[in-house]
């Protein structure tokens, strides 16, 4: 079970300082992620990938493909965003911002 | 079948008692009802029941077989979880609408012919719109109205397709159809609208975020998955669906990446997941159909879990705008954990999503669609980034928006807990879900290579996200909307309509005016002759009466003697 | 039977027709209510003459059953006309009664005046 | 024994009771006698109907004289149906008289009213039953004279002029009929209608006398029916007559005259002569269509509701003559059926107006504004009758319109169907005008607390309204008899 953010099990609610607050811990997590990705790339030659397609067999295909995919996705989305962005009241104020709650 | 009542109808009729029961009794009754339905379904044997002939058409209201059973189970489970999630909410309209909506969804799944399907199809549309209107805000009302128009429009297309088919083939049975004629095209488009095909998808991101906190959880489960079921039943192996599915899997991610309202992000990612299922239906092999069923099963669970988490945030904080949230993990720790489980179970091993989606992916790969498989890989990486990481990060961990609130209410926690447990259990012990699937195909998800490949995909997309955030490349969440295809019918169409009206109306008004004048003149003319003073109505002197008698006699005699 | 015999031979029918037409004319042309009733009577009397002339048998005497009378005119029309006369009398009596009441109510028996009074009301 | 003389009994009962009422002088006694007389005659006619339906034509020689010489009472399906209508309406309307007379200032001479009423009833039934042509004229005169008296009893002074005009026109009409009978007698030498029919072929259908007789008969009967150009006497007569009289006459008098026309044209002269050798169908159809439209339009502009109904009667008579003009079994069935249904409709509507007049003293549409709130039952009856007049399904009116349209379609005259439908739409206009006034406008200020009409007025109206709906749904009796009558007429012709 991993994900970039790893919450501390014992974080308490309320104003007390949570483990994540100081930047030093966040750096630890960031470098942890990089370390994990490097290990997974190294594991590559030790298992047989049963590729269906030729390009699937290349070295660490899943890794770099998904990295490029996500990065590309976000960057393209950002530029597209600027083109399609409109103010809140574009459809003559018929879309509120989901303020009131149930 | 409980006491002989068809599965869907049990819930729909059961709803009628809901308003009569007070407080706690009502909540208990509303939970027991789907439970009873599930229990009855578990015992039911496959086959077609209650068939009767309507005019000359064979109507089979209840058809139970492998495919419909899976969807039946998950719909009941989703109904139970959504009801538990909505325990805190005692708005009768929403409670009744929710259950009736679930009932009609289940009914549609077991429909054996197009007419029963149409009836439940319309029932789904009309009951679900109340979940949106229950928000009772002006924008919710308008979004609900657009939603209703589109859903009922899909119903109308379905009906016309069914009528055409009945006309051509003489039967309304709902089985595998080929795309040859107009009837099946109409039916496909009708299914497509509810399955959020590209260009028909706008009701999803438009209406779901506007629905009420608990409404969206209901909505997320039934309409779209029922559409997937009918596609799987009606059009398995249709080549076109593969490309449509691929498109559906790709384009919503771009919107989700930059969207501010987190529930709208989830709606777009729901659309993306539907793309996977549609591709599965398109491939159509036994493995693919299994994949579709498994993916639908898992997806209902983790998507409703995510919607529940966001619902809890909306319920407590009052907004799900990424720009105003952040740092909630301190005040809502449990919801954070559940949200992470939800995000993880999209495609992480040991969670539900992984074992379900891999079926579809390998089916696509086996049948040799390299480009499609690549798009699906891109989509699965993207969706993890967008709906998994982004939601969790922006809602709970990003820079502290300074909002403090209590933890989600107990019933919400129970609901989210149950769903999370289900996600994990299914993920870990995959043979249980595989046993439920329609076609029995041997498939082992947990091979070493598959797990490592999947881990690589996930860790590298997380890496991408971390780098983008670290170096501030990630677009800041800003309070604005992004145009989608629905601009056509929400902006351009009205403008066009107003322009046409301005052109036509002067001519139209003058024509009406002439008509009215003509009418008045005619009535006046009539009045002059037939009114009280008119020649015909005045009391005639006796003499003229006698004259008329003589004239008529003369006339008749003339005719007779001529 | 030539035209001349035709006219002379049926002179009683010509009288009946003449009476009918004058009767009708009086009803149509005259505004006075009583004159209309008189016209009506003239018109009905033309019917009586028509029936009686039907009954005439050449050389027949009055239809009385007595010895020595063997040729007599047809009694049936006579009897019918008896009834018709009674009906005519009854109608005229009723008409006159109505005229008396109208005179009482309207003060006039000229149809035009009555008509104008009604219109003005 | 008594049953053998039933045909004669039907007429004799009202004939004897009429003078009896006068002798009794007392208002209540006269009423009881009149009531019993009408109910007895209705019972007799029901028995006769059953007998005729079982046995077929009944022939009864008055005073034992054999038919061609003596006066004969012949009853076939048509006669008995008319008899049923007249005595039925008579018996329903009779109890109405008790109350509605109190107001209309003839209260002290009520016994005279009952006597005239019984005479009129006897005359009409006499016309319906008799088989003798001249006897028919005599009974016609009896009924006409008594109806002139009845109309003249109206509270409005214009009733007198209306009665006078009706007298003049009625007498002219009757005289035309007697001329026709005379000419027929001249041509055939007999007065018994069945006998005339047998002897006419020898007299030759090209015989001028017979043609003249036919013309006089058609015009004479037409005038008594009040077919379109000859209808001018009817509106005033029905409007200014007392309400019970207009209800009774509207439902029966014109129906009997239509019977006369049917009997002579079809049974005596025969279809072959009347419609094939002589072009009677076309003029009748033209007059009928005119009758369907012009009076209806006039009715839309009237302010006095009774006058509206009077003009509507002229229009409905147009339908009957239209059915007659088709010269087919279906057409005749429709026409005879409409006799029956129209009697129910108009009877009900006029009785309702009687109740309204009894309470607010006028039938003016503006005075009736907002009446539904105060007199709900009365106005509901009006709506019932109105729906039947328009010909809304499930009412008697619809049935007759339906058969009329069937007859028109059978002849292939679809434009006639269009005309029928359009004229019913006009009927909607003048009926709805009244309903709109009564239901949707608020009452004039001086008519605020108007009590509901008394039961004795409402009961007869509601009986007829129920009859309207009953015969709108259960049509076996009305259509059954009408069908047999039509077949017998066409067959005999």
User: Is C48 touching D (CB cutoff 8 A)?
Assistant: no
**Minimal CA–CA distance to D265: which of D204, D221, D320, D199?**
D221
Cα nearest neighbour of A44 on chain B:
B452
Confidence of residue D247 (pLDDT cuts 50, 70, 90): very high
Mutate to test the interface with D, among B523, B544, B545 (most CBs of D within 10 A): B545
What pLDDT is attached to residue D492?
A: 53
Mutate to test the interface with D, among C44, C54, C91, C106 (most CBs of D within 10 A): C91
Domain count within chain D: 1
Mutate to test the interface with A, among B460, B483, B488 (most CBs of A within 10 A): B460
- C84 and D178 in contact by Cβ < 8 A? yes
Please state which CATH number belongs to domain C3-120.
Answer: 1.10.287.3510
CA distance B548 to chain C (A): 10
Which chains have at least 3 CB atom pairs separated by less than 8 Å from chain B? A, C, D
- B560 and D233 in contact by Cβ < 8 A? no
Taking residues B268-293, report their average pLDDT: 91
> Which positions 483-542 of B are in contact with A (Cβ < 8 Å)?
483-484, 490-491
Mutate to test the interface with B, among D211, D232, D281, D287 (most CBs of B within 10 A): D232
User: Is B343 touching A (CB cutoff 8 A)?
Assistant: yes
- D165 and B552 in contact by Cβ < 8 A? no
Cross-chain CB nearest to D283 (options B545, B549, B556): B556
Cross-chain CB nearest to A97 (options B321, B348, B465): B321
Tell me the two tokens of residue B480.
């604005």
> Which positions 245-264 of B are in contact with A (Cβ < 8 Å)?
253-255, 257-258, 261, 263
User: Is A92 touching B (CB cutoff 8 A)?
Assistant: no
Please give the residue range of the domain that contains residue D476.
279-493
**Minimal CA–CA distance to B398: which of A65, A21, D418, C44?**
A21
Confidence of residue B541 (pLDDT cuts 50, 70, 90): confident
Residue D171 lies in a domain: no
- A7 and B143 in contact by Cβ < 8 A? no
Which chains have at least 3 CB atom pairs separated by less than 8 Å from chain A? B
Confidence of residue A97 (pLDDT cuts 50, 70, 90): very low
For residue A10, pLDDT over 80 is answered with no
Do C and D touch, 3+ Cβ pairs within 8 Å? The answer is yes
Confidence of residue D434 (pLDDT cuts 50, 70, 90): very high
DSSP D81-126: HHHHHHHHHHHHHHHHHHHHHHHTT-STTHHHHHHHHHHHHHHHHH
- C98 and D164 in contact by Cβ < 8 A? yes
Count Cβ–Cβ pairs < 8 Å, chain C vs chain D.
68
For residue A15, pLDDT over 60 is answered with no
Tell me the two tokens of residue A52.
């269906």
CB atoms near residue B90 (< 10 Å): 12
Taking residues D322-348, report their average pLDDT: 92
On chain C, the residues whose CB falls within 8 A of the CB of B546 are 24, 27-28
Residue D389 lies in a domain: yes
Cα nearest neighbour of D211 on chain B:
B560
Tell me the two tokens of residue D450.
């108007």
Instruction: Kindly report the average pLDDT of chain B as a whole number.
Output: 88
Over the stretch A55-84, which tens digit does the pLDDT of each residue have? 777 777 888 888 888 888 888 888 888 888
> Which positions 12-71 of A are in contact with B (Cβ < 8 Å)?
13-14, 18, 20, 30, 33-34, 36-37, 40-41, 43, 47-50, 52-53, 55, 60, 62-67, 69-71
Over the stretch B72-131, which tens digit does the pLDDT of each residue have? 999 999 999 999 998 888 888 889 999 999 999 999 999 988 999 999 999 999 999 999
Cα end-to-end span (Å), chain A:
33
Confidence of residue D445 (pLDDT cuts 50, 70, 90): confident
ipTM: 0.75
Interface of D to C at Cβ within 8 Å reads 134, 138, 141, 145, 148-149, 152, 157-158, 160-161, 163-164, 167-168, 171-172, 174-175, 178-179, 182, 185-186, 191
CA distance B518 to chain C (A): 31
> Which positions 2-31 of C are in contact with D (Cβ < 8 Å)?
24, 27
Lowest mean pLDDT among B235-249, B315-329, D311-325: B315-329
SS3 annotation, chain D: CHHHHHHHHHHHHHHHHHHHHHHHCCHHHHHHHHHHHHHHHHHHHHHHHHHHHHHCCEEEEHHHCCCCCCCEEEECHHHHHHHHHHHHHHHHHHHHHHHHHHHCCCCCCHHHHHHHHHHHHHHHHHHHHECEHHHHHHHHHHHHHHHHHHHHCCCCCHHHHHHHHHHHHHHHHHHHHHHHHHHHHHHHCCCEHHHHHHHHHHHCCCCHHHHHHHHHHHHHHHHHHCCHHHCCHHHHHHHHCCHHHHHHHHHHHHHHHHHHHHHHHHHHCCHHHHHHHCCCHHHHHHHHHHHHHHHHHHHHCCCEHHHHHHHHHHHHHHHHHHHHHCCCHHHHHHHHHHHHHHHHHHHHHHHHHHHHHHHHCCCECCCCCCHHHHCHHHHHHHHHHHHHHHCCCCCHHHHHHHHHHHHHHHHCCHHHHHHHHHHHHHHHHHHHHHHHHHHHCCCCHHHCCCCCCCHHHHHHHHHHHHHHHHHHHCCHHHHHHHHHHHHHHHHHC
Q: What is the dihedral sign for C-alpha B542, B546, B548, B549?
A: positive
Return d(Cα B442, Cα B286) in angstroms, integer.
11
**Minimal CA–CA distance to D249: which of D282, D218, D225?**
D225
- Per-domain residue ranges of chain C: 3-120
Tell me the two tokens of residue A38.
């490097």
Cross-chain CB nearest to D219 (options B537, B545, B552): B552
Place of tokens 């322009």: B499
Residue D260 lies in a domain: no
Taking residues D166-172, report their average pLDDT: 94
Over the stretch B521-531, which tens digit does the pLDDT of each residue have? 988 888 887 77
Cα nearest neighbour of C52 on chain D:
D182
Residue D470 lies in a domain: yes
User: Is B89 touching A (CB cutoff 8 A)?
Assistant: yes
Over the stretch D10-23, which tens digit does the pLDDT of each residue have? 999 999 999 999 89
Confidence of residue A12 (pLDDT cuts 50, 70, 90): very low
**Minimal CA–CA distance to D391: which of D349, D352, D345, D350?**
D345
The answer to whether B105 and B226 have CB atoms below 8 angstroms apart is yes
Residue D467 lies in a domain: yes
Which chains have at least 3 CB atom pairs separated by less than 8 Å from chain D? B, C
What pLDDT is attached to residue A13?
A: 42
Confidence of residue D103 (pLDDT cuts 50, 70, 90): low
Interface of B to C at Cβ within 8 Å reads 539, 541-544, 546-547, 550
On chain A, the residues whose CB falls within 8 A of the CB of B209 are 98
For residue B467, pLDDT over 60 is answered with yes
- B480 and A41 in contact by Cβ < 8 A? no
The CA distances from residue D173 to A9, C22, D219, in Å, are 115, 17, 7
């Amino acid at each position: 079970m991993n994900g970039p953010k790893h919450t501390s099990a014992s974080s308490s609610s309320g104003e007390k300082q949570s483990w994540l607050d100081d930047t030093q811990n966040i750096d630890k997590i960031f470098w942890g992620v990089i370390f994990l990705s490097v290990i997974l790339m190294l594991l590559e030659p030790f298992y047989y990938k049963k590729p269906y397609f030729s390009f699937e067999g290349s070295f660490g295909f899943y890794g770099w493909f998904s990295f490029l995919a996500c990065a590309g996705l976000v960057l393209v989305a950002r530029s597209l965003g600027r083109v399609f962005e409109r103010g809140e009241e574009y459809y003559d104020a018929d879309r509120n911002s989901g303020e009131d709650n149930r | 079948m409980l006491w002989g009542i068809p599965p869907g109808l049990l819930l729909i009729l059961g709803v009628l008692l809901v308003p009569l029961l007070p407080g706690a009794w009502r909540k208990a009754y509303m939970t027991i009802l789907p439970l009873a339905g599930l229990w009855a379904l578990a015992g039911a044997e496959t086959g077609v029941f209650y068939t009767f002939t309507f005019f000359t058409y064979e109507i089979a209201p209840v058809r139970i077989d492998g495919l419909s059973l899976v969807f039946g189970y998950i719909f009941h489970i989703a109904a139970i979880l959504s009801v538990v999630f909505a325990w805190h909410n005692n708005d009768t309209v929403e409670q009744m609408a929710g259950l009736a909506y679930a009932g009609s969804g289940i009914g549609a799944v077991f429909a054996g012919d197009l007419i029963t399907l149409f009836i439940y199809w319309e029932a789904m549309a009309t009951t679900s719109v109340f979940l949106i209107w229950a928000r009772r805000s002006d924008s919710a009302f308008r979004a609900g109205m657009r939603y209703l128009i589109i859903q009922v429009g899909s119903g109308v297309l379905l009906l016309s397709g069914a009528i055409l088919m009945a006309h051509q083939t003489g039967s309304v049975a709902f089985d595998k159809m080929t795309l040859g004629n107009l009837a099946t095209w109409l039916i496909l488009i009708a299914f497509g609208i509810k399955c959020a095909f590209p260009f028909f998808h706008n009701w999803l991101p438009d209406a779901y975020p506007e629905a009420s906190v608990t409404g969206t959880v209901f909505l997320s489960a039934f309409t779209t998955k029922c559409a997937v079921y009918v596609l799987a039943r009606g059009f398995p192996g249709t080549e076109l669906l593969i490309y449509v599915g691929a498109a559906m899997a790709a384009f919503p991610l771009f919107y989700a990446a930059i969207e501010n309202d987190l529930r709208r992000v989830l709606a777009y990612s729901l659309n993306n997941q539907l793309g996977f299922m549609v591709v599965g239906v398109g491939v159509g092999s036994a493995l693919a159909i299994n994949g579709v069923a498994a993916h639908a099963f898992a997806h209902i669970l983790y998507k409703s879990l995510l919607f529940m988490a966001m619902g809890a945030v909306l319920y407590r904080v009052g907004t799900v705008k990424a720009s105003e949230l952040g740092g909630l993990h301190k005040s809502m720790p449990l919801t954070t954990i559940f949200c992470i489980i939800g995000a993880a179970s999209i495609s992480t091993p040991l969670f539900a999503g992984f074992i379900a989606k891999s079926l579809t992916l390998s089916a696509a790969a086996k049948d040799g669609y390299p480009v499609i498989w690549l798009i699906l890989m891109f989509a699965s990486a993207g969706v993890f980034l967008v709906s998994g990481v982004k939601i969790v990060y922006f809602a709970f961990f990003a820079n502290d928006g300074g909002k403090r609130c209590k933890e989600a209410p107990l019933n919400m926690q129970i609901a989210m807990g149950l769903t999370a447990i289900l996600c994990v259990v299914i993920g870990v012990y995959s043979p249980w879900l595989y046993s439920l699937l329609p076609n029995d195909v041997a498939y082992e998800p947990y091979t070493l290579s598959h797990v490592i490949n999947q881990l690589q995909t996930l860790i590298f997309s997380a890496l991408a996200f971390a780098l983008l955030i670290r170096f501030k490349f990630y677009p800041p969440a800003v309070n604005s909307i992004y145009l989608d295809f629905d601009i056509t019918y929400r902006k351009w169409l009205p403008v066009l309509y107003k322009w046409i009206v301005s052109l036509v109306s002067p001519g139209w008004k003058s024509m009406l005016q002439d008509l009215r004048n003509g009418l008045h003149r005619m009535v006046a003319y009539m009045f002059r002759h037939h009114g009280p003073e008119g020649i015909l109505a005045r009391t005639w002197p006796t003499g003229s009466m006698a004259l008329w008698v003589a004239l008529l006699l003369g006339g008749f005699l003339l005719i007779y003697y001529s | 039977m030539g035209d001349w015999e035709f006219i002379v031979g049926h002179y009683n029918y010509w009288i009946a027709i003449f009476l009918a037409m004058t009767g009708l004319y009086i009803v149509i042309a005259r505004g006075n209510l009583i004159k209309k009733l008189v016209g009506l009577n003239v018109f009905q009397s033309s019917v009586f003459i028509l029936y009686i002339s039907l009954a005439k048998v050449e050389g027949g005497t009055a239809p009385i059953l007595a010895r020595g009378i063997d040729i007599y005119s047809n009694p049936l029309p006579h009897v019918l006309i008896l009834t018709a006369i009674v009906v005519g009398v009854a109608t005229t009596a009723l008409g006159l009664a109505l005229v008396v009441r109208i005179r009482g109510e309207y003060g006039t028996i000229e149809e035009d005046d009555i008509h104008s009074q009604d219109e003005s009301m | 024994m008594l049953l053998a003389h039933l045909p004669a009994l039907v007429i004799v009962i009202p004939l004897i009771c009429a003078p009896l009422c006068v002798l009794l002088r007392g208002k209540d006694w006269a009423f009881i006698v009149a009531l019993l007389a009408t109910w007895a005659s209705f019972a007799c006619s029901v028995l006769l109907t059953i007998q005729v339906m079982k046995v077929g034509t009944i022939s009864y020689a008055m005073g034992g004289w054999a038919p061609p010489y003596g006066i004969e009472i012949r009853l076939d399906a048509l006669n008995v149906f008319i008899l049923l209508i007249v005595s039925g309406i008579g018996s329903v309307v009779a109890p109405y008289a008790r109350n509605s007379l109190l107001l209309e200032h003839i209260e002290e001479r009520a016994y005279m009213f009952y006597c005239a009423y019984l005479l009129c009833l006897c005359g009409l039934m006499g016309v319906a039953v008799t088989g003798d042509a001249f006897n028919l004229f005599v009974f016609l005169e009896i009924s006409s004279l008594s109806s002139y008296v009845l109309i003249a009893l109206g509270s409005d002074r214009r009733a007198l002029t209306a009665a006078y005009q009706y007298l003049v026109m009625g007498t002219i009409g009757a005289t035309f009929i007697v001329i026709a009978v005379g000419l027929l007698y001249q041509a055939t030498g007999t007065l018994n209608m069945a006998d005339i029919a047998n002897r006419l072929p020898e007299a030759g259908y090209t015989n001028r006398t017979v043609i003249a007789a036919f013309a006089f008969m058609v015009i004479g009967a037409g005038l008594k029916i009040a077919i379109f150009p000859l209808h001018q006497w009817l509106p005033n007569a029905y409007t200014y007559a007392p309400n019970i009289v207009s209800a009774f006459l509207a439902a029966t008098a014109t129906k009997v005259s239509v019977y006369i026309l049917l009997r002579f044209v079809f049974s005596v002269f025969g279809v072959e002569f009347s419609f094939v050798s002589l072009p009677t169908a076309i003029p009748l159809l033209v007059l009928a269509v005119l009758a369907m439209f012009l009076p209806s339009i006039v009715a839309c502009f009237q302010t006095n509701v009774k006058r509206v109904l009077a003009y509507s009667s002229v229009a409905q008579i147009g339908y009957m003559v239209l059915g007659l003009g088709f010269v087919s079994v279906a057409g005749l069935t429709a026409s005879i059926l409409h006799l029956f249904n129209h009697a129910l409709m108009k009877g009900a509507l006029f009785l309702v107006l009687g109740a309204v007049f009894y309470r607010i003293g006028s039938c003016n549409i503006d005075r009736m504004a907002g009446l539904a709130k105060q007199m709900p039952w009365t106005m509901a009856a009006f709506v019932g009758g109105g729906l039947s007049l328009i010909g809304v399904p499930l009412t008697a009116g619809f049935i007759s319109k339906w058969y009329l349209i069937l007859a028109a379609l059978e002849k292939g005259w679809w434009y006639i169907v269009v005309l029928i439908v359009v004229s019913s739409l006009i009927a909607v206009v003048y009926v709805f005008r009244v309903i709109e006034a009564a239901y949707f406008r608020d009452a004039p200020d001086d008519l605020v607390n108007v009590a509901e009409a008394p039961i004795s007025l409402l009961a007869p109206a509601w009986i007829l309204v129920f009859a309207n709906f009953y015969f709108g749904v259960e049509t076996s009796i009305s259509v059954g008899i009408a069908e047999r009558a039509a077949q017998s007429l066409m067959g005999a012709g």
